Amino acid sequence: MQRIFLLWLSIILLLCCSSWGFYAHYRLNRLAIFTLPKGMAGFYEANREYLTAEAISPDRRRYVDSTEAAHHFFNADHYGRDPFHTVPQKWNDAAKKYTADTLNKYGTLPWAIQYQYYKLVAAFKAHDTSAILHHSVYLGHYVADACVPLHLTQNYDGQLTHQAGVHALWESRLPEQFGNQYNWYAGKAHYLENPLWQAFIICRGSFKCADTVLRTEHKLHLTFPDSLKYALMQRGNRKVKDYSVAYCKAYNQALHGMVQRRLRTAILNIGSYWFSAWVDAGQPNLNKLIVSPPSAADRAAIIREENLYKAGKIAPLPDYGLINKTLEGKGTLREN
Ligand SMILES: [Zn+2]
């Protein structure tokens, strides 16, 4: 009995601390494969189930590694009104200015991207299949997190402005509810000259949106009485109070496509980081690393999904068991 309770507790904790939501992380890694050039696509397609299913493992890691949480956010507003001019991009310079402890406390997301990038380059150079997959997953996850506006602010769940819950609303509820209506096509991966600089560019783009995410929700809240803002929603066997469908719809509309834009930015950047690491490693022959090529049925499914992607559309995700069944789980992000 106690074991069952602990199992449920760990599931609830996982749900309460996911970033982008499981749904979006799965989607982003999976769709980023379609941005890749021919020399890479075969290997990534052959491993797409791993890349999809493991997309959330960096979030899970936070429960076994206390240093992991800082990799998922960067509280830019801690560093003043103009953080992207104030904070030096190079870790050593930033640590000299603020101390490494301060950087760790307020999040190390752009440097986590840089670190994973160079690990991926090394993995490609070593022709190390499991390392390539592992670092592709981590790099993809951190790049995706950098595209979420509320990963860039201390007010990450609206907790400082009486908007608690807005984090999951923006990054989980909206993609889950309106994903089928978004246009997901993000184009083709391109070479990134400077991975660290690009990480700061992405973070700055997200940071610029954070105010709109919060302000828009606040304005909407003023027009919705609680009885319409919230509803009892079915979550597995339970009914829980959550934002109503009408409220999500109104919020999605008021954001004028922002969630879709950030999702596409994530797809394009994940693909571009993977591609650039491969180029920097000298474009090794990845086809030699394919252990089990896709079956005829898998091949057909990949082609079907790629054609859908080109049209901006998505196919249903595979069933990842328990996690997939709790896709609508709502959650806040982090413990800092
Ligand atoms: Zn995360």
170-211 pLDDT, tens per residue? 999 999 999 999 999 999 999 999 999 999 999 999 999 999
Ligand 1 center to residue 57 CA distance, Å? 9
Residue 109 has pLDDT above 80, yes or no: yes
Ligand 1 center to residue 193 CA distance, Å? 25
- Pairwise CA distance, residues 291 & 271, whole Å: 22
22-207+262-325: CATH, from 1.25.40, 1.20.950, 1.10.575, 1.20.1260: 1.10.575
Ligand 1 center to residue 60 CA distance, Å? 9
Ligand 1 center to residue 19 CA distance, Å? 4
The residues facing 241 across adjacent strands are: 232
Ligand 1 center to residue 72 CA distance, Å? 5
Ligand 1 center to residue 56 CA distance, Å? 7
Q: What is the mean pLDDT of the chain?
A: 90
pTM: 0.90
- Pairwise CA distance, residues 207 & 310, whole Å: 29
How far is residue 211 from each of residues 20, 110, 166, 201, measured CA to CA in Å?
18, 20, 12, 17
Where helices occur in the chain by DSSP H, the ranges are 2-16, 21-32, 38-46, 48-53, 57-61, 83-86, 91-98, 100-106, 109-125, 129-146, 166-168, 174-178, 195-223, 226-229, 245-254, 258-280, 296-310, 322-325
Ligand 1 center to residue 108 CA distance, Å? 12
Ligand 1 center to residue 247 CA distance, Å? 25
Ligand 1 center to residue 1 CA distance, Å? 31
Count of CA atoms in the C-beta half-sphere (13 A) of 99? 3
CA 230, 27, 183, 196 torsion: positive or negative? positive
Ligand 1 center to residue 136 CA distance, Å? 14
Residue 162 is classified by DSSP as T
CB 113 within 8 A of CB 139: yes
Residue of 210, 101, 93, 92 whose CA lies nearest to 146: 210
Residue 72 has pLDDT above 80, yes or no: yes
